[in-house]
């Protein structure tokens, strides 16, 4: 990442993930039935890279599409942002739920029910962040916090110092 005060871009976060994490994210992405337009965009990018037709890419098994997506040399931020969300929803729900519980934010299995209309007080974020770091692997927590910051810097800005 760059400067400590700078919020990492989703594409930078994607590159910072392990290959295993990226593969899990890509598989979750292709399994998600609520994002067909992003899946078409990803299939189009893969088709261009592989010199194939998008229809051919769309017909590949999820595991193959996921492996190809992981190998993309440059990931657009919009797509990387959704892959990060897919990863967390597919693989990190217990951690997400624990953090939101600690903050007192209503959620359904780690997914926030309503839009948050204001920033979370820094002292509340610090306390919840410390609790999460004590319970989950540091790198998973860092990626989660960086993803929250990339999604909504106004609400989650207090997490900058946790990276």
Question: Could you report the per-residue pLDDT of 9-44, keeping only the tens digit for each?
Answer: 999 999 999 999 999 999 999 999 999 999 999 999
- pLDDT on residue 90: 95
Q: What is the pTM (predicted TM-score) of this model?
A: 0.91
Label residue 109 left, alpha or beta by phi (over 0 means left) and psi (-120 to 50 means alpha): left
| Residues 85, 64: Cα–Cα separation, whole Å | 20
How many Cα atoms occupy the beta-carbon half-sphere of 81 within 13 Å?
A: 12
């Amino acid at each position: 990442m760059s400067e400590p005060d700078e919020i990492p871009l989703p594409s930078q976060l994607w590159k910072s993930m392990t290959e295993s994490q990226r593969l899990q994210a890509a598989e979750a992405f292709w399994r998600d039935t609520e994002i067909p337009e992003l899946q078409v965009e990803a299939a189009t990018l893969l088709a261009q890279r592989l010199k194939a037709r998008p229809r051919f890419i769309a017909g590949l098994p999820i595991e193959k599409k996921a492996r190809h997506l992981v190998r993309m040399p440059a990931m657009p931020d919009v797509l990387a942002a959704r892959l990060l969300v897919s990863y967390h929803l597919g693989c990190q729900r217990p951690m997400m739920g624990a953090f939101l519980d600690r903050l007192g934010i209503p959620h359904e299995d780690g997914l926030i029910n309503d839009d948050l209309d204001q920033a979370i007080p820094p002292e509340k974020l610090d306390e919840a962040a410390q609790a999460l770091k004590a319970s989950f692997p540091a790198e998973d927590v860092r990626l989660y916090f960086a993803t929250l910051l990339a999604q909504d810097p106004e609400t989650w800005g207090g997490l900058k110092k946790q990276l």
